[in-house]
Amino acid sequence: MKVFLASGNAKKIGEMQRILAEHVPDVEVLGIADVPGYVEPVEDQPTFEGNALLKARAGVAATGLPSVADDSGLCVDALNGMPGVLSARWSGPPKSDDRNNELLLAQLHDVPDERRGAHFACAIAWVMPDGRERVVEGRMAGRIIREPRGSGGFGYDVLFVADEHSDAADGRGFTSAELDPAEKDRISHRGRALRELAPHVAQDLAGA
C-alpha cells in the first residue's frame, strides 16, 4: 500500500512512516525523491491548511497516489505569531535551518525569558485520487531558549523546549532536538495531527 508524502525531508518521511504504520502496517510512504521530475508547487497560501491542501492536491495530480502533505511552522508570541507560514523561508532564499535559527535568536535577543513563549502549529492534508479530502491540525506549546541544543530533529527544534519537557535537564528543559524520535512523535504538533489522521487514512485505504 503506497502513499505519497509531498516532502523531500527524509526525517519527516520517517516520522510519517512510523506513525501511519501503527494503523496501516503494510503502508509504504514515498517522498519527492521517489518521483523523478517532481515539481513542487509554490506555497503561496496565507494559512497552514491552505498550503497543506495545495501540496497534497499537487501530489495526487503528479503521482495518482493517495497523498499527504503538511504545512507547519513556529509561531512566536513576541513576534505576533511569526514566522508562522514563513517559517522555512524566514531568513530568505535559499532555505537554511541554521540561518533561520540565527535570525530568530537575533530578533528575540532583548526579549526576557518570561516572554519567549511559542508554539508549533501543523496542518496535515489527506487527499484521495477520487477527490476525498480531510485536514487535521496539531499544536505543541513551549518556549524559545537562547542558544541551540541537540542534534536531532530539524528546523527550529534546537531552540524549542516543549511545555512537557520544560522542567527536565536540570531545569533547562529538553529541546525537541534532544528528544528521541518516539518521544518527539508523542508530543509534537505533527505527531498529534498524524495520530488523529491515521485511522481515517486506514479506513480510506481499506475501501479504496
Binding residues for substrate: 7-12, 72, 154-157, 184, 189-190
Judge whether 118 and 159 are in contact, CB under 8 Å.
Answer: no
Q: How far apart are CA 59 and CA 2, in angstroms?
A: 13
* CA–CA dist 13, 6 (Å, integer): 9
Active-site hit among 70, 71, 113, 180: 71
**71 in catalytic set:** yes
> What residues are designated binding site?
7-12, 71-72, 154-157, 184, 189-190
Residues annotated within a binding site for Mg(2+): 71
Q: Mention every residue, 6+ apart, whose C-beta is less than 8 A from residue 13.
A: 5, 7, 29, 31
Single out the residue of 163, 122, 168 nearest to residue 142, CA to CA.
163
Catalytic residues: 71
